[in-house]
Chains A and B, each alone.
Chain A
Amino acid sequence: MSKFLEWVDRRFPLTKTWNEHLAEYYAPKNFNFWYYFGSLAMLVLVIQIVTGIFLTMHYNPDAETAFASVEYIMRDVPWGWLIRYLHAIGGSAFFVVVYLHMFRGLLYGSHREPRELVWLLGCVIFVVLMAESFMGYLLPWGNMSFWGAQVIISLFGAIPFVGEGLAEWVRGDFVVSDATLKRFFAFHVAAVPLILAGLVYLHIVALHRVGSNNPDGIEIKKNKDADGVPKDGIPFHPYYSVKDLVGVVVFLIIYLAIVFFLPEFFGLFLEKDNFLPADPLQTPADIVPLWYFTPYYSILRATTESLMWFVRGLIVLSVVVAFVRTSKPTAKGIAALVGAGFFIGAFIFTPKFWGVVLMGFSIVALFLLPWLDQSPVRSIRYRGWMYKTALAVFVFSFVILGYMGMHNPDHVSLFIFKNVVWAQICTITYALFFILMPLYSVWDRTKPEPERVNFK
């Protein structure tokens, strides 16, 4: 065996790779609950790829037969129902896991220097994942698939001058049709998964270059023993491989319990209207995206004429924050110029267009986090009340936006406000979390970071 390994090692860095990324990759020994979701996201990616391959063997990307082919998989293909449920619910599981994975970053400052690239690559993965799931959702060719795609693609139409042409180009037709279905199929099963796999590879390479953060947000590489091994580090394999195994089993219990016992998950994972075939003549009573898109959808719908004054206010506020936090005249000049451009744009363009812009910004803002966050400490354990409050408000806003996005704007009201008013308030607080971060992250009274990691 060892002879064979030598033979391989002379031709391929097998042992070296194994050591660098597993057996001698030193991870902080104080990982807690929040650190399971990275490896779980990889697991879900594999599940989606494998189940997806089997689904393509029986699925027809054709507007006439797509819906029937899904039912064929559900009824006539041996174990087809299981593969299909695993894939459909895997989509939701992916977002659960990825949202928790991202939230971990906000808790412990994983986006901070020197992990900016890890964070940025992660953000790109998130955006690509959204594209992947959006296109995948069209494939069953149910009525909600059809109308959801119709609504979201028509958003391109809000872009001035080129919008309508762009929307038509994306659809390949004047409405969502067979042409749209076929291109979405091609992207969903070939192009995007390839990109996704490549990005995940880069994400991990970047992570292993700088090393993992931990719940204390301190660098374990600052404290090394005589052999150059971090004192608070343990080899990923076997310690975290066996620990993650426990996480995997717990995850599988929850995921498979939903697959086997509650696959529709109260209409959240499989929507009622998607059991009807796509019908361009019959609009569903409420067109709602799947749950993981509803926060952004809410922001889109919240942007009405009445919100525009607040949007202008937020633009002015962003410029003010930039002025307070930079001393360089050029930076101030750029901030003033860009701000002025946006401010004027807020008078010229329609709220519909601004809805799309704000929806875009709600995701772009994540990319800026490493530079917006100026706190001297990384982890929430050593931050003061300001960041803790801001993060709580952010999570609250995100959840409320998501909840409101699931319901018709006219139907739900919470306490005193209507759906749309709640969505507007939360859109503003969501934006303030990012816009004010350069201020409160600095003003916050932080506690001193420890020398070595803690177990809490």
Chain B
Amino acid sequence: MKKLILILILAAVSPSSLAAEATEPLDPVYTNLGNKASLQRGAKLFVNYCLSCHSAAYMRYNRMGRDLGISQGNIDEHMMFAADKPGALMTVSMPEVKAKQWFGTAPPDLSLITRVRKPEWVYSYLRRFYFDAESPHGWNNSLFENVAMPHVLYELQGVQRLTGHDEHGYPRFEMQAPGTMTPEEYDEAMQDLTNFLVYLGEPAKLERYKIGTIVMLFLAGLLVLSYFLKKEYWRDIHYS
């Protein structure tokens, strides 16, 4: 009976609560923090394209290097454009006042972006920029309408135009001028970038699951021992 009530409640609630978010559906993305190569490619994209405007002000370069297996030499040479100390935070040199003049809003810090929004959202957002002659900077995004950010990655993705939405609400695009990457390569690159942003949101996630598994195994053993200890002691309690 209890189960039935629960099922009824859930069935009645779910459609209406979904309808509340009347935005575009998100593209599924597979993120895997175990894939070091993907994280490294994502990091490269991040420092080359995002970090010029967006900070990741809670993250340190050398921590990223250690976690992702990038040598300090590589970081110094290819990644640290805006800092000189290995332990520096990943800040940007663009002053906030200027940023507001240029974009109308300061680009948000991206350290925790995948924890504020879902990884799927970030991935979809990165794929859905399109050319829009009416926007001040010529770009728009179907997931985040009239976004202040221009399409920084258009060289890679190419220039696409929004032609409408399909019956499920997904946007449909038409490629006008292809970029240096094929659509498949671009999707893969964005998956790497999203993967890196998931890592950036919580570096501890790399070790959290491993330690958690050991802790669970230990507790399972302790449960067996404590259960038999209790049983042994309670042998002399008579239930009558």
A binds B: yes
Binding site for B on A (CB under 8 A): 29, 68, 71-72, 74-76, 81-82, 234, 238-239, 242-243, 245-246, 248-250, 252-253, 256-257, 259-261, 263-264, 272-273, 275-276, 407-408, 411-415, 455
Residues in B1-33 with C-beta less than 8 Å from chain A: 9, 12-13, 16-17, 20
CB <8 Å contact, B115 and A272: yes
CB <8 Å contact, B233 and A256: no
Q: Nearest Cβ distance between residue B185 and chain A, in whole angstroms?
A: 31
B223 neighbours in A (Cβ, 8 Å): 246, 249-250, 253
CA distance A239 to B231 in the complex (A): 10
CA distance A81 to B63 in the complex (A): 15
CB contact between A261 and one of B202, B212, B230, B234 (< 8 Å): that residue: B212
CB contact between A29 and one of B211, B212, B229, B237 (< 8 Å): that residue: B237
Q: List 8 A-B contacts (CB under 8 A).
A: A74-B202, A82-B211, A243-B230, A245-B229, A260-B208, A260-B211, A260-B212, A414-B12
CA distance A249 to B111 in the complex (A): 36
CA distance A429 to B81 in the complex (A): 63
CB <8 Å contact, B58 and A71: yes
Given contacts A75-B203, A411-B20, contact A272 B116 (CB under 8 A): yes
Measured CB to CB, the nearest residue on chain A to B214 is A260
A260 neighbours in B (Cβ, 8 Å): 208-209, 211-213, 215-216
CA distance A272 to B112 in the complex (A): 10
CB <8 Å contact, A257 and B216: yes
Q: Nearest Cβ distance between residue A160 and chain B, in whole angstroms?
A: 36
Measured CB to CB, the nearest residue on chain A to B232 is A242
Measured CB to CB, the nearest residue on chain B to A249 is B223
A234 neighbours in B (Cβ, 8 Å): 237
Given contacts A76-B60, A242-B229, A246-B226, contact A408 B234 (CB under 8 A): no
Q: Tell me if B222 counts as interface (CB < 8 A to partner A).
A: yes
List the 7 shortest-distance A-B pairs measured between CB atoms, nearest first. A260-B212, A81-B204, A71-B58, A411-B20, A275-B115, A275-B112, A249-B223
Q: Tell me if B59 counts as interface (CB < 8 A to partner A).
A: yes
A253 neighbours in B (Cβ, 8 Å): 216, 219-220, 223
CA distance A142 to B89 in the complex (A): 20
Most buried by A among B111, B209, B212, B220: B212
CB <8 Å contact, A68 and B13: no
Q: Nearest Cβ distance between residue B42 and chain A, in whole angstroms?
A: 18
Q: Nearest Cβ distance between residue A401 and chain B, in whole angstroms?
A: 14
Given contacts A246-B223, A246-B227, contact A239 B237 (CB under 8 A): yes
A261 neighbours in B (Cβ, 8 Å): 208-209, 212
CB <8 Å contact, A256 and B216: yes
Measured CB to CB, the nearest residue on chain B to A143 is B116
Q: Nearest Cβ distance between residue A366 and chain B, in whole angstroms?
A: 25
CA distance A423 to B129 in the complex (A): 42
CB contact between B16 and one of A246, A257, A276, A412 (< 8 Å): that residue: A412
Measured CB to CB, the nearest residue on chain B to A72 is B58
CB <8 Å contact, A242 and B226: yes
CA distance A336 to B22 in the complex (A): 52
Binary flags per residue of B175-202, CB closer than 8 Å to A gives 1, else 0: 0000000000000000000000000011
* Tally of contact residues, B, Cβ under 8 A: 39
B212 neighbours in A (Cβ, 8 Å): 256-257, 259-261
CB <8 Å contact, A276 and B112: yes
B111 neighbours in A (Cβ, 8 Å): 71
Measured CB to CB, the nearest residue on chain A to B114 is A275
- Taking A75-B60, A81-B202, A272-B117 as known contacts, 5 extra A-B pairs with beta carbons closer than 8 A to each other, sorted by chain A number, are A239-B233, A256-B219, A257-B212, A412-B20, A414-B13
Residues in B90-149 with C-beta less than 8 Å from chain A: 111-112, 115-117
A245 neighbours in B (Cβ, 8 Å): 226, 229-230
CB <8 Å contact, B17 and A407: yes
Measured CB to CB, the nearest residue on chain A to B59 is A75
Given contacts A242-B226, A260-B212, A276-B112, contact A415 B233 (CB under 8 A): no
CA distance A82 to B209 in the complex (A): 12
Q: Tell me if B152 counts as interface (CB < 8 A to partner A).
A: no
B59 neighbours in A (Cβ, 8 Å): 75
CA distance A259 to B213 in the complex (A): 12
CA distance A261 to B213 in the complex (A): 9
CA distance A68 to B89 in the complex (A): 12
B237 neighbours in A (Cβ, 8 Å): 29, 234, 239
Measured CB to CB, the nearest residue on chain B to A410 is B20
Measured CB to CB, the nearest residue on chain B to A30 is B239
CB <8 Å contact, A74 and B204: yes
B209 neighbours in A (Cβ, 8 Å): 260-261
B227 neighbours in A (Cβ, 8 Å): 246
CB <8 Å contact, A242 and B233: yes
CB contact between A68 and one of B57, B204, B233 (< 8 Å): that residue: B57
CB <8 Å contact, B233 and A273: no
CA distance A455 to B240 in the complex (A): 8
CA distance A167 to B219 in the complex (A): 47
B57 neighbours in A (Cβ, 8 Å): 68
Given contacts A408-B20, A412-B13, contact A81 B226 (CB under 8 A): no
CA distance A242 to B116 in the complex (A): 43
Q: Nearest Cβ distance between residue A169 and chain B, in whole angstroms?
A: 33
B230 neighbours in A (Cβ, 8 Å): 242-243, 245-246
CA distance A197 to B212 in the complex (A): 31
B226 neighbours in A (Cβ, 8 Å): 242, 245-246, 248-249
CB <8 Å contact, A81 and B234: no
Given contacts A29-B237, A74-B204, A260-B212, contact A415 B12 (CB under 8 A): yes
CB <8 Å contact, A81 and B208: yes
